[in-house]
Structure 1
Amino acid sequence: MNDSYASQEPARSEVDALPGPTLVEFGAPWCGICKAAQPLIAQALAGTAPLRHLKIEDGSGRPLGRSFGVKLWPTLIFMRDGQEVGRLVRPTRSEDIARELSRIVQPA
């Protein structure tokens, strides 16, 4: 699990080209709801196979978040081979995150 939000975001084309399972997390380090979700995300990730976790600092005018239609933080985008498989906005239960993770780490 990444602990810090990356202030420099990759291009959408780079994210879409990533092979295998990827969790893209949008939020901000000062966001209280994002901070509250971190233990839930950590717990869910601890129980799953290794995967790529992109933790992206989002905000006004940030193109990657806008390309995914992110409006609230944290938003978790679950991707497999560059395709969105699931999404959670402001998750409140680690079980919900784990369920979505299981969809991307196992073949469809």
Structure 2
Amino acid sequence: MAIVNVSDSSFKAEVESEGTVLVDFWAPWCGPCKMIAPVLEELDKEVDALKIAKVNVDDNPESAARFGVMSIPTLIVFKDGQPVDKVVGFQSKDALKNVVTRHQ
């Protein structure tokens, strides 16, 4: 599945739906956000039935505020439209894989 960019207006349709979605709240100026991008690309190829969405917090402050994002990167796992897990800061591929597979 391809990684999708999500805005405040498309968040509900893209994320709050059936299945497991990993949402990366990030910003272009954030060093750790740049480091996690290739990890997410690898995860996208390796984990079936996982959708990955990216929300630029500078352009989409409503979504970030709604889910209490205070630091970036923040990654939130949604299961069938509900947030079920949250990690803050750079994570290894194995750590992220463990987080998302717990909710599949």
TM-score normalised by the chain length of structure 2: 0.80
> Where in structure 1 do 4 or more consecutive aligned residues deviate above 4 Å?
11-16
Alignment partners' CA distance in 2, 1:62 and 1:98: 27
Instruction: Give the paired residue count.
Output: 103
Across the aligned residues of Structure 1 and Structure 2, the Cα RMSD in angstroms comes to 2.4
Give the whole-Å Cα distance in 1 for the aligned partners of 2:59 and 2:45. Answer: 31
Separation (CA, whole Å) in 1 of partners of 2:27 and 2:55: 8
Identity over the aligned pairs, expressed in percent? 26
Q: Secondary structure at the match of 1:104?
A: coil
Aligned residue identity for 2:32: I
Using the size of structure 1 for normalisation, the TM-score is: 0.78
**Corresponding residue for residue 53 of structure 2:** 54
Unaligned residue ranges in structure 2 (runs of 5+): none
CA displacement 1:15-72 (0-9 Å, x = unmatched): 6741111111110122211001112222223221032222110038811101100011
Structure 1 alignment gaps of length 5 or more:
none
